[in-house]
Chains A and B, each alone.
Chain A
Amino acid sequence: MTKERLSRRDFLMSAAKVVAAGVVAPAGGLAAAQAVFADGQSTSQETAVQQMWAGKEWGFVVDTQKCIGCARCVKACKLENKVPLDEEVFRTWVERYLVFNDDSGDEEVRTDSPNGGLDFKQLDVAPDKQFFVPKLCNQCHNPPCVQVCPVGATYRTGDGVVLVDRKRCIGCRYCIQSCPYGARFLHPVLKVADKCTWCYHRISHGMQPACVEVCPVGARKFGNQLDPNSQVAVLKKKARIRVLKPDMGTKPNVYYIDLDEVVE
């Protein structure tokens, strides 16, 4: 018995010695090297990206009382972001809401969004209430899509925009399923998750998102929520605003002005 135990201990001891020599020594060396090189690029130095983010929290305001359902935003978005025009996928789309009150006081709500709103048809009905609701990614403070991504391919930037890393995305669609707003889709050409970026390539250069640029009635406003003089900050303060599906706890950053209560 003692012999057995002795030899097992020898076995473990010598294995441990090799591992110690083979791993701990180089690892220690590496740590020392890192300590030396870390001085060169210390963490206190801000990168260009961090400077760009400083003092910014982008926000978006949609005025449903103004929207005329022309869908110029839908078309401009596709052209600006190279989303195929002939596919039924949209980074932003417009929904038509028709509300009918019957005699018993019940409400019937009909919604449609043919081709994202580009192909609305005249209908032979007379609704009691009618309006359009433009939709897009809410760039949530607590984005469920980011939480479910298994490869760290989607994230929220320091200035508040949820982006997809096209090089890392494996197209598993978890994020598409997790979005309560249906704002994500699989890009038909690139085969990666795609979504509204608030035109990150425009807003980072002082331009407005393409949909805001072409809206003929000013139903879409975009700006820095942290700047008290921005249109978005002013409207957030003085207008009656609400967000979509507040109980989901996602904390959206798209604010709707005077949105009818039938819209969730």
Chain B
Amino acid sequence: MEEEPGQKTRWSQKAGFRVGVVLVCVLVIFGIVRQMSVPKSFGQYGYYRGDNVEEWVSMDQTFAPGNQVCAQCHAQEVQAAAQAEHNQLDCQSCHGPMLAHVKQPNQTHPKVAGNVDLCGACHREMVGRSKDNIRTVQVGSHSGGLDCVRCHDPHQPYAKIGGGRQ
């Protein structure tokens, strides 16, 4: 069968039209998928999702910012501690995170045991820990197995046993 030249041209145009439609569809779908998968704030400040910065900024804190916060309600302890050997310490170095307590003092009842685990973390004699930086004790023989707070007031270490640093 011989084809007419004109027929062949028409056929080519039709096929071309179809391929064109398919191409357009592919491009449109690509555009939609990209739009959906790349978050809105991506690229706002750089090659990342700009909104993520705010997400980090607005995370909850657990530690209160410093001893002056405690002073609002525990003026006596803060005052006492400020004048004694532990004056460099943040209350929360021993008491742990306290922001929840600051916000709702009566709902949370913070307790900390004044034992070897607490005091020994800083004062235990140990290789690596220089006596130039901190007074250390051999916790077992020094305390005779008693809790450290039996003899030492944690806020004023020598208040109970008298004297103080010689």
Q: Is B60 a contact of A201 with CB atoms below 8 Å?
A: yes
Complex CA gap A165/B41 in Å reads: 12
Interface string of A153-171 (1 = CB under 8 A from B): 1110110000101011000
Is B97 close to A, CB under 8 A?
yes
- Which residues on the B side are within 8 Å of A199 (C-beta)? 61
Q: Is there contact, CB below 8 Å, between B59 and A201? A: yes
Chain A residues contacting B128 (CB-CB under 8 Å) are: 69, 96-98, 120, 127, 130-132
A76 beta carbon closer than 8 Å to chain B:
yes
The stretch of B11-19, B76-84, B102-110, B153-161 in contact with A is B11-19
Chain A residues within 8 Å of B21, by CB: 18, 22
Q: Shortest distance in angstroms between B32's beta carbon and chain A's nearest beta carbon?
A: 12
CB <8 Å contact, A68 and B134? yes
- Of the A-B pairs whose beta carbons lie under 8 Å apart in the complex, a sample of 25, sorted by A's number, is A6-B9, A7-B12, A14-B12, A14-B17, A17-B20, A19-B27, A52-B57, A69-B126, A71-B121, A79-B62, A79-B97, A98-B128, A120-B126, A122-B124, A125-B127, A127-B128, A131-B130, A152-B47, A163-B56, A165-B55, A208-B65, A210-B63, A213-B63, A214-B90, A215-B93
Question: Closest 7 CB pairs between A and B?
Answer: A18-B20, A22-B24, A14-B16, A155-B48, A201-B59, A15-B20, A11-B16
| Given contact pairs A6-B9, A157-B53, a sample of 5 additional A-B residue pairs in the complex whose CB atoms are under 8 Å apart | A18-B23, A52-B57, A158-B45, A202-B61, A216-B89
Binding site for B on A (CB under 8 A): 3, 6-8, 10-19, 22-23, 47-50, 52, 65-72, 76, 79-80, 96-98, 120-123, 125, 127, 130-132, 152-155, 157-158, 163, 165, 167-168, 197, 199-202, 204-208, 210, 213-218
